[in-house]
Chains A and B, each alone.
Chain A
Amino acid sequence: MRKRFTLKFLSNGAGPYFLAVIFLVASMLFALSIGTVSIPISDILFIIGREVLHLPVDTTAYSMNANIIMNIRLPRVILAGLVGASLAIAGAAFQGLLRNPLADPYTLGVSSGASVGAVLTLFFGISIPRAGGFTLPVMGVVFAFITIMLVLLFVRAVDPAMKVESIILTGIIFSSFLGAVISLFIALTGDELRAIIGWLMGSVSMRGWNYISLLLPFFLFGSLLLLLNGRELNALSLGEERAHHLGVNTRSRKLVILIGGSILTGAAVSVSGTIGFVGLVIPHLTRMLWGPDHKHLLPLSILTGGGFLILADLAARMVASPVELPIGVITSVVGAPVFAAILMKKQRERRGMKHA
């Protein structure tokens, strides 16, 4: 009886959210606890209780650890969480909208756009007055936004109906072109090579709270746009015409979803570089666990994506410690085999079905 109840609870309604939140919180605690200095979880809870929630807890004994948590690990963990969440929800939305399980947040060339912005900044040593150290992420967001606008304008010019196929093709064209631009700068560069490559491979280290406050508004706004379109994404993932038949205003909804996803992707890429596979694998796994209904898939992807990237960042720190690996390497090393496994399982299922 109890087991059945548990199963039902876990597969329906609040169950998936419960599990996903536990996963996220556990990942955060692990990432905060593990490091060159190991900090017990109870201490972490005390520190956060005092520093964040201003509870009257006496933590003078932990002042050293409090410094590590509050100034180094917590911002890093939160930034990793936000980036992972942004990429995962954007990936889930793009996959649904483009009806293509192979789509990811980078399909439309947004990441290449952001990268071009960042590489330009590094190459020319640009510094926007007042933005100062933020020049790079700001440039990234700006370029990401310019890119998505160009992509959409181009699609609209070629295909007024803005069919999904045209959007994907345009994305590929822009990605290739912008990728070539990046390669050009890499070829021309001298001293900044390491900085550029390092940035391209992605990292969330040593960014501090400022980057979080830069990313957070984009994350909230982009996520809100997508979360409001859960049912529309369900309809659109059945096919554009079908969505139209069901009463979805396909053109405006598509535009809103594209903009929401691009804002998330552009902002994430700008603060952390291109981190691959998160936006591809996480929505897949989440869909496999709890079904494709976007009303739940989107919020769950936020939770699982955040948790996943926090763990990936932990691995990036710890695997070859004290050397820190680029986080993109970790996500790809983990993501590619997982994705291959998913693909194999799906193909086997499909073949099995045909035999039946």
Chain B
Amino acid sequence: MLKVDRLAGGYTSGNVVENISFKVQKGEFFGILGPNGSGKTTLLKMLTGVLPFSAGEVRYNEKSIKDYSPKELARTVAILPQLSSQNFSYTVREIVTLGRYAHQRGLFPQISAEEKEYIEKVMEKTGVQRFRNQSIHSLSGGEQQRVFLAQALAQKAEFLLLDEPTNHLDLSFQISLLDSLKHWTKEQGLTVISIFHDLNLAGLYCDRLLLLEQGKVRMIGLPNEVLKEEVISSVYQTHVKKQSHPAVPAPQLALVPDKRHAAQGVIETNMLQIARNHILVKSPFPLKTLASGVIGAGNGWFKNFLNRHVDKNYACMDHKNDMKDYIRSSGLEVSETIGMMTAVILEDECHCFYENDGFSVLIVVTAGVGNSVDAARSYCHSGEMKPGTINIWIFVNGTLSDEAFIQTIMTATEAKSKAMADLDVIDQITGTIATGTSTDSIMVAATQQGEFLQYAGPIAPLGRVIGQGVYEMTSAAIRKSRRRHNR
């Protein structure tokens, strides 16, 4: 266990860090964060005994660092410093072997077979075995970093201190290094204390974090507690947005650049291009989008919005790639495009532009009710996928919160179902009122400029517009489609 108690110290010009207290338990992965000049490296130097401290106490396993002899300390605490240039071209093996210095005794110690085996083991662990007889100078920065990690591991210490260990490493080695460290904390009870530059990596791997601000502890806690938008924004003087990691439960922070130079504008009706084969909206700048559909589903930022007409007997095994080809053939970039499909004749499309206090909404609906479904009784259906029949687009000229995005979807869906009910659209299989069709798609795209809209529930200003607009447009589109069928 590492125990730091009211530690203060620095250089002759004065204390760089002050009043630092924390504990790190055995087997813990502990991260130290802080902006440049906040005292991270100074703190680490005091923890390694390189820099004397002016007040306070550092204890490893209940024994003060001052009571350790240099060799004893090296057997307890190993350090992986930031990479520095080397003047002499030692071989990898020679460097790793030096890690055993503190374990050797006598004036001219011989390296025993056991020692050799251990050295081989750490070289294998760090993947530097194949360089063993090469000069350190012949290796890349990342490889050198791994050699020095092997050296630190050769010390067989209980505590491993690292100073921005992922510097110089490319992505795959960053992850493999941190994965290994994490693994060793769990398997061998290694205690890792590491300075991190990358807040997101720290959030991914650390059990707890210490955030330094101007030489003082701003916060110690779980990654979720420390990596908060307001905390990080104030300490780092940078605008960040917190989000959850898409694959694992860890907090992630996204940097937000200065938006002064971002393109400005509004989405208007005249941007709607209706052709025989598709309806297209080309925005001059990306819109924040939440969508279902063939291409571009989920969260994202998109510039092109395409609703493609396909024959009602369209049956393509690989409709996603077919759609991508279509987008490309229309001269659009796939990664910037939301793509939907419909069998509806596109001239039956209905749209309307709603203006309100501070924001405006463009709603575009294509609807056909050939394969309507009552969601409450959909278990009666076979589950065969057919081209979407009610596609709803909602463009909002305003800034939407995350919840407003979801509420927009809810409100729009409710309005759509209500329109179907009022028009007596029947589920052909169950004989009940349908709530939608089997493959409906919906999309909300917001400019994220102008008025901030926190809510989009049915009685919020935005929700009112959307509820009314989607209801009216869906009803109109269904009527048009019916008229065409009855002809």
Contact = CB atoms under 8 A, between A and B. Distances in A.
Interface string B156-179: 000000000000000000000000
A100 interface: yes
B89 A231 contact: no
B95 A247 contact: no
A228 B152 CA distance: 24
B366 to A, nearest CB: 58
B88 A248 contact: no
B102 interface: yes
A96 interface: yes
Residue among B45, B49, B71, B87 facing the most chain A CB atoms (10 A cut-off): B87
A13 to B, nearest CB: 13
A235 interface: yes
Interface string B92-110: 0011001101101001010
A237 B99 contact: no
B81 A247 contact: no
Given A231-B104, A234-B98, A246-B101, A291 B91 contact: yes
B138 interface: yes
A248 B81 contact: no
Given A234-B94, A241-B50, A241-B81, A99 B87 contact: yes
B404 interface: no
Contacts of A350: 137
Given A231-B101, A231-B104, A291-B91, A244 B81 contact: no
Interface in A323-356: 349-350, 353
Contacts of A291: 89-91, 94
B98 A238 contact: yes
Residue among B48, B94, B95, B101 facing the most chain A CB atoms (10 A cut-off): B101
Interface string A82-112: 0000000000000010011100000000000
Interface in A214-246: 228, 231, 234-235, 237-239, 241-242, 244-246
Contacts of B128: none
Contacts, number: 76
A33 B360 CA distance: 105
Contacts of B81: 241-242, 245
A183 interface: no
Contacts of A231: 98, 101, 104, 109
| Interface range on chain A (Cβ under 8 Å from partner) | 20 to 34
A228 B98 CA distance: 15
A293 B87 CA distance: 13
Nearest to A350: B137
Given A239-B84, A241-B50, A244-B50, A234 B74 contact: no
Contacts of B75: 247
Residue among B71, B90, B152 facing the most chain A CB atoms (10 A cut-off): B90
A292 interface: yes
B98 A244 contact: no
B78 interface: yes
Interface in A291-347: 291-293
A287 B70 contact: no
A247 B101 contact: yes
21 contacts: A96-B88, A99-B87, A100-B87, A101-B87, A231-B104, A231-B109, A234-B98, A237-B87, A239-B84, A241-B50, A241-B81, A244-B48, A244-B70, A245-B79, A245-B81, A249-B71, A287-B88, A291-B91, A292-B88, A292-B89, A349-B137
Interface of A: 96, 99-101, 228, 231, 234-235, 237-239, 241-242, 244-250, 287, 291-293, 349-350, 353
Interface of B: 45, 48-50, 69-75, 78-79, 81, 84, 86-91, 94-95, 98-99, 101-102, 104, 107, 109, 137-138, 151-152, 155
Given A101-B87, A235-B98, A235-B101, 11 more contacts: A231-B109, A234-B94, A234-B98, A237-B88, A245-B152, A246-B99, A246-B102, A247-B70, A248-B70, A249-B70, A292-B90
